[in-house]
Amino acid sequence: MTMAIDLKGGAAPATLNERLLKRHDRRERTALSLLTAPGALLILVVLILPIGWLFWLSFFDASGEPTLANYARMLRPVYVKTFISTFQVAGLVTAACVLLGYPVAYLLSQLSERTAGILMIFVILPFWTSVLVRTYAWLVILQRTGLINTWLTGAGIIEEPMPLVHNLLGTVIGMVHVMLPFLILPLYASMRAIDPVLMRAAANCGATPAQAFRQVFLPLSLPGLAAGIGLVFVLCLGFFVTPALLGGGRVAMWAMQIADNIAVYGNWGAASALGVVLLAVTALILVVLRRIFKVDTFGGAR
């Protein structure tokens, strides 16, 4: 027993200042975590609390009685139809953005940083203009007496003006214009990160340019493409202004349903329930996208 105590005493130099240093360590960590406090507070106030409030509201009807009717109502055909049409529009717009955006991002990624930087201005430029202004501009271009129809009828190519707007087509055109940068930017970043020497390596292995693109470049650009697709699709689900103006009442979107519930019926509970469902679906999509691309992107060669 005395031996043990002696031994402990003998080991004293190893614990020299141990407590003091531990205390300093703790204090330092506390101080550092305090730095995140303003950000955390902001997120709490403008994000967590309102969403919680929304969630809370969705369980009450217009007169303030607790109810599940707001969710039950969503099974009605008109809501189901809106839900499906929202996904269709979002899917169409996303697909169009991929078809138009991938080649642009590819071109930009193959140019010198300088040239790409200059051309990138044209991709980002629409960002600096209000969505409302851009949407009205499309109206001017696409409507029955708009630029395209006037030109084409004037040139004698068509006799009757084509229905380019106030329908699904016009909505998709306007939305693609707004959404394209959200696809191109993350895709471009991921393409830039692909080492060009990999394409040489593929050629050296015997790959034709087409094979090298399909088997090396495309798989490596998929994470950026997934990010872009996720961003565009999710933004489309909640898009209001453009479908409202260019859809001409023929394109029913989830966000318009929410607006109607508040503006026309003053039913905050119903609007909140729609918002909660939209949020849940969006989160689900992001999780699924992440799953798919994590498993498939890097497992493709196995």
Partner 1 sequence: MRSKVAIQKISKAYGAFIALDDVSLDINPGEFLTLLGPSGSGKTTLLNVLAGFVRPDSGSVTVDGTEFLTLPPHRRNLGMVFQNYALFPHMSVRSNVGYPLRLRGVPKAELDRRAGEALDLVQMGHLADRGVHELSGGQRQRVALARAIVFEPSMLLMDEPLSALDKKLREHMQLELKRLHQRLGTTTVYVTHDQREALTLSDRIALINGGKVVQLGTPDEIYDRPRNKFVADFIGETRFLPVEPGASGPLLYGRALKTRDGAAGRNEKSWLVVRPERLRWRGGDDDGSNRIDAEATDVIYQGDSYLITVRLPDGAEIDLRRSPDMAGGRLPDRGEGIRLWLAPEHTILVTDHA
In the complex, least distance from residue 217 CB atom to partner 1, rounded to whole angstroms: 10
* CA–CA dist 273, 271 (Å, integer): 5
* CA–CA dist 3, 9 (Å, integer): 10
Q: Which is nearer to partner 1, 136 or 293 (CB)?
A: 293
Q: Which is nearer to partner 1, 156 or 206 (CB)?
A: 206
Return residues touching partner 1 (CB under 8 A).
195, 197-198, 200-209, 211-212, 215-216, 219-220, 297-298, 300-302
Of 54, 53, 57, 75, give the one whose Cα is nearest residue 66.
57
CB 221 within 8 A of CB 297: no
Of 192, 195, 176, give the one whose Cα is nearest residue 92.
176
Start-to-end Cα distance in the chain: 62
Q: Which is nearer to partner 1, 91 or 209 (CB)?
A: 209
Q: Pseudo-torsion of CA 38, 40, 46, 51, nearest 10°? A: -170
In the complex, least distance from residue 102 CB atom to partner 1, rounded to whole angstroms: 18
CB 49 within 8 A of CB 270: no
Q: Which is nearer to partner 1, 163 or 219 (CB)?
A: 219
CA distances from 110 to 29, 103, 210, 217 (A): 45, 11, 15, 12
Residue 60 phi, psi (nearest 5): -125, 145
CB 301 within 8 A of CB 86: no
Q: Which is nearer to partner 1, 217 or 239 (CB)?
A: 217
Q: Which is nearer to partner 1, 117 or 196 (CB)?
A: 196
In the complex, least distance from residue 107 CB atom to partner 1, rounded to whole angstroms: 21
Of 169, 149, 167, 165, give the one whose Cα is nearest residue 157.
149
In the complex, least distance from residue 302 CB atom to partner 1, rounded to whole angstroms: 6
In the complex, least distance from residue 189 CB atom to partner 1, rounded to whole angstroms: 16
Q: Which is nearer to partner 1, 90 or 212 (CB)?
A: 212
In the complex, least distance from residue 201 CB atom to partner 1, rounded to whole angstroms: 4
* CA–CA dist 44, 246 (Å, integer): 36
In the complex, least distance from residue 204 CB atom to partner 1, rounded to whole angstroms: 5
